[in-house]
Structure 1
């Protein structure tokens, strides 16, 4: 049996992780390898000698990005700089290779951080769908990761202005229950 793949985009803090978890699929992110590389470098992320590894251990990745501006900036610059200087698909190749392996083994895969057209296109090329999550009350950040998909033609759009359970129900209505 061959698994399925779905991707969720596009802005920060709109509910992509909640939507991903609602699928019951194996979770992946294009930024997983960005985080792994940042962890290997393990830079100081504040003026008081706090290392990235300590921040992530204490706060988790999401908490560290929200509480310490340098963590979000580091990940954006490392990810975006690699895209610009090496290859726009530098983070797509390893993620989609692993996703394909999982699907061939019968697992369904949900990618939680679709931010660029080539990422969405890679999911579609693997037979998947891409879903935009919109949440009107979230401030829009001025960064390429926040606006590169503004004009992209998503397969589905979910308005996440309701409850968490309404978001989960909307996701399940599109992708099913994870089996």
Structure 2
């Protein structure tokens, strides 16, 4: 079965996960479609959980920015690693050996998934975007001006897509409004995608209506 991959891009706390939740809810509620949700960072997080004994709250929850005093960053400055900086450094180490390491890892995993629709919630690098494009997927960019600050905002995982033009992405969504507006954007996207898929399956030309 061929898959339609939706790749969501955006900086930390721009609303990627919230939008992904809305997308999946709209697929299920309105179209009875079961969407497989994943992330390039999921495999990395499981590895960090095993190697550093990080908790689910530190990896997937709201403690990514809380320092973990088990891991000293600088004794002289009395600073410590946060789960986010641990994950960033861990991911960068593998990319320094093979820039496509995490892309290959996710691709291998997705070959075992049978769902027709897949949502990847955390595209941060151009090669991850190219993976979606090369698999005939859609790139969705989420932007938000008033997003909360995080640690290490200069890391490549937060800046590597900054210079890509908006035209590079298939869909750009401004998340400066209300949650209901974000939900509407997700619902509208899902409805159009279902319609497009139906036309393609009937081998007809989609006219955008």
Q: TM-score, normalised by structure 1?
A: 0.82
C-alpha separation between the residues in 2 aligned to 1:175 and 1:66?
A: 33
Residue correspondence of structure 1 range 94-113 to structure 2 within 5 A? 94-102=105-113, 105-113=114-122
Deviant stretches of 4+, over 6 Å: none
Q: Is 1:137–2:134 an aligned residue pair? A: no
Corresponding residue number in structure 1 for 2:64: 65
Residue deviations 1:33-83 (CA, integer Å, cap 9, x gap): 1101111112xxxxxxxx523xx35x6623120333511110000011210
Corresponding residue number in structure 2 for 1:21: 21
Of the three residues 97, 100, 109, the one matched with 1:89 is 100
Corresponding residue number in structure 1 for 2:12: 12
Of the three residues 148, 151, 154, the one matched with 2:163 is 151
State which drifts further: 72-81 or 149-158: 149-158
- Of structures 1 and 2, the larger Rg is shown by 2
* Higher RCO, Cα 8 Å, sep 6+: 1
Corresponding residue number in structure 2 for 1:127: 136
Corresponding residue number in structure 2 for 1:38: 48
Task: Tell me the number of residue pairs that the alignment of Structure 1 and Structure 2 aligns.
Answer: 165
State which drifts further: 11-20 or 62-71: 62-71
CA-based RMSD of the aligned residues comes to 2.1
Q: 2:65 aligns to what SS in structure 1?
A: helix
C-alpha separation between the residues in 2 aligned to 1:52 and 1:106?
A: 30
Q: TM-score, normalised by structure 2?
A: 0.71
Change (3 A) 1:12 1:159: same
Note if contact 2:36-2:115 (Cα within 8 Å) is conserved in structure 1.
no
Note if contact 1:83-1:90 (Cα within 8 Å) is conserved in structure 2.
yes
State which drifts further: 134-143 or 75-84: 134-143
C-alpha separation between the residues in 1 aligned to 2:118 and 2:3?
A: 7
Give the CA deviation at 1:96: 2.1
Corresponding residue number in structure 1 for 2:73: none
5+ residue gaps, structure 2: 25-34, 68-80, 195-209
Q: Is 1:2–2:12 an aligned residue pair? A: no
